[in-house]
Structure 1
Amino acid sequence: MPSGPSLDGRQDWEPVVWQKAAPKGKSAKSATEVNAARRTGGYVETDKKFAGGTNSSAHGGPTNAKKLDENGETFRHATVSHEFKTALQQARLAKKMTQSSLATSINEKASVINEYESGKAIPNGAIINKLNKALGVRLPKAK
């Protein structure tokens, strides 16, 4: 005999059906009337809302995209000059510092120093002033 609650005739085996409550209010009644008219083939008048049901911010694209496509110029960020990157590298080597030690002395990441020495960095006056003070030299203008 199984343990637990007894399996005698006290159980209710009637099915339980859960139903969602119907929407209430004026709009729910008009929606059911519209649906009933559509089912019977009756006339249904609809008004289109201004920009209703569209997400224009996601699909519109930039307003000046056509101008950018028509423009033949190539736009590039200003980077440090060749003279600047060689002067920075020579000043760092004269102080016998590694890129990471120079970076820690000016409280920046080592990747910043690497970008400046490879010529890929966008010139930042604050960082250049820190480099000038840490190395004790006057680096050329970054242009």
Structure 2
Amino acid sequence: MSHQDWKEITIGKRANASSSGGMNMKQAKDPKAVAAALRAGMAVQTVKKDSGAGRNALKLELDDENLTHKTVSADVKKAILQGRLAKKLTQAQLAQQINEKPQIVQEYESGKAIPNQQILGKLERILGVKLRGKGVGK
């Protein structure tokens, strides 16, 4: 019967030499050292870190009746279209000026876009029209 040493190795946290099985943080991050620890029979715990997508994702609000996302109102899409035509810009030119894809401008003008306050602010600044406030996002 063989004897195995089950010393715990912690990766990603500051650990003293006794709790990490004699490995320091630099060794614990080295894939070769981790592989050597596994071959030696040490217990190695890996932890997957959150990519952060959940923190930065937009909070989507649902319309209770239809269970659909709220989109820009008819007034907003009309104001964007009229403002763009008054400045004699194409959708692609407007998109370039606000540093967004042309598809974004097309979605806002067709009323399919989910309102984003940053994009609405850029459009207001370039087109010189009021898009945020009462009546937006209904």
Please, what TM-score do these two structures have when normalized by structure 2? 0.49
Task: Judging by fraction of residues, say which structure has more strand.
Answer: 2
Say which one has the larger Rg.
1
Q: TM-score, normalised by structure 1?
A: 0.48
